[in-house]
Amino acid sequence: MKPSEMITVFEDRTCYVNLTPEQTKELQSFERIWGSQNFIVRSDHRVLLKKYVGFVASKNLQIQILPKIFRDGESREIEAEKEHSIQLLFRLLTYSNYLKVKEIPTPKMVSKYQNDILEIFIAIFIKEFLNQFKVNVHRQYEPIEENTQFIKGKIIFQKSLLRNRDLNYLHYVIYEEFTEDTLLNQIFKTTIERLLRITKIAENKKRLKTGLLYLQHVQTIKLNQTIFDKIRFNRLNHQYLPLFNLSKLFYYNEQAGMSNGDEYTFTFLVPLNELFEYTVYKALKGLEEYSVLYHKPQKYLDKKNKAFMLKPDITIFKDGKVETIIDVKYKNPIHGIDVNVSQADIYQMLSYSLAYNCKNIILVYPMFRINNGYINPLGKYEIETENGIVKITIIHVNICRDNLDGILNDLMEYLKI
């Protein structure tokens, strides 16, 4: 694959991109990933991609979709926004534990790799590989079967009789050999070779070639799901688990309609709202004396007919009672100078209150940079019901901080605990 320039768009923002006819055709082939309601490619080269962030790198097209944090419209600070958005994406991936390698790119690193998240992923992968293999090349005992004059290990008599009927000097044997040509190393080598074909950064190429030198006695294989499923980790090889997870990330095209392991396509797409939800959940998970549940418990609003399933984002319990329900949405609640919460969102919160007998509901949004002058709460509603007053509080949290404690601090004042 000939590397092409990475095109950047922002999730849920109409962006102008100058695509060739081949790139347009390839981009349109990914509509099945997003769904037609989240995917618009217009004839005037304007593109709107919703729901997912990440990248797609195919034969003629490399496009990355970043979370927007500056404003809804076109930004005049596009390079600065790319840098901050990439840092935010990796921060969310790390906080949510989606990315097992705990490395958040610095501004210098983001700039060094040309604001390209695929190149940053490659850099993180090969750096982790070289760090591990400089200290300890992975080796283990592997079963070897061969037909030989020398007896070692155990003779497999049935195969020996079938293969060596008139060759009494040969024996079909099985034995174990301490080797670096392990299945795990074969996965790493195959991944490195594929990454070498797609990277555009000289330093990544250099490091990937060094990685191949480390694995020069290891064979490459055809990757598939069965190969990955065969790998088991124990105390002797657990240090390679983060590297293995990154290899899986590069292999799997997990979105519907994409063929696994397509050698011409790298896909990493994550639903942004779910990533933000889980980050907020992780920030709250350490609350002492409280039980914090994610997407649980699920209930039917109409229990008798089992209709209208409810699945709150985050539920906080104490002594078996629901104290607070938190709904998380990655969108800008401030339009112009006004905070606007949709009626549908308020009705959804009232449904939660009714089904879970909860009087404290919090709607959580990310703090867009243009909104950092707005203090919490952004809004408070008190709605009278037959069961009492339901309090709905609207807040935004600063997700550009360097740790999860900041998000927890933003929330603490409004939790009924």
Q: Taking all residues of the chain, what is their mean pLDDT, rounded to a whole number?
A: 84
- Please provide residue 335's backbone torsions phi and psi, each rounded to the nearest 5 degrees: -120, 120
- Rounded to whole angstroms, how far apart are CA atoms 201 and 125? 14
The C-alpha atoms of residue 297 and residue 303 are separated, in whole angstroms, by 14
Give the confidence band of 177 by pLDDT, cuts at 50, 70, 90.
low
Identity of residue 293: L
Q: For residue 209, what pLDDT band results from cuts at 50, 70 and 90?
A: very high
**Predicted pLDDT at 256:** 33
The angle, 0 to 180 degrees and rounded to 10, between the axes of the packed helices 117-135 and 241-251 is 150
Position 211 pLDDT exceeds 90 = yes
CB 95 within 8 A of CB 34: no
The predicted pLDDT at position 234 comes to: 87
In this structure, are residues 417 and 323 in contact, taking their beta carbons and an 8 Å threshold?
yes
Q: What is the DSSP string of 21-38?
A: HHHHHHHHTTHHHH-GGG
- DSSP assignment of 374-386 equals PPSPSEEEEEEET
User: Residue 52's closest CA among 309, 256, 216?
Assistant: 256
C-alpha to C-alpha distances, 402 to 88, 384, 398, 399, nearest whole angstrom: 10, 40, 10, 8
The model's pLDDT over 183-200, given as tens digits with 9 standing for 90+, comes to 999 999 999 999 998 899
Q: Are 47 and 39 in contact (CB under 8 A)?
A: no
Tens digit of pLDDT for each residue in 124-137? Answer: 999 989 998 888 87
C-alpha pair distances (Å), 404 with each of 92, 258, 295, 396: 10, 34, 20, 14
Is residue 261's pLDDT more than 90?
no
pLDDT digits (tens, 9 = 90+) for 306-346: 888 899 999 999 888 999 999 999 988 888 778 888 888 89
- ∠ at Cα 297 (392, 404), nearest 5°? 65
pLDDT tops 70 at residue 143: yes
- 51-55, 95-99, 174-178, range with the lowest pLDDT: 174-178
CA 116 to chain centre: 16
368-404 pLDDT per residue, tens: 888 888 889 999 999 998 888 999 999 999 888 777 8
List of residues 6+ apart from 228 with CB closer than 8 A: 187, 248, 251
Least trusted range by pLDDT, from 36-50, 101-115, 396-410: 101-115
HSE of 228, CA atoms in CB hemisphere, 13 A: 18
More confident residue, 59 or 121: 121
Q: What is the pLDDT of residues 76-91, one digit of tens each?
A: 677 888 888 998 998 8
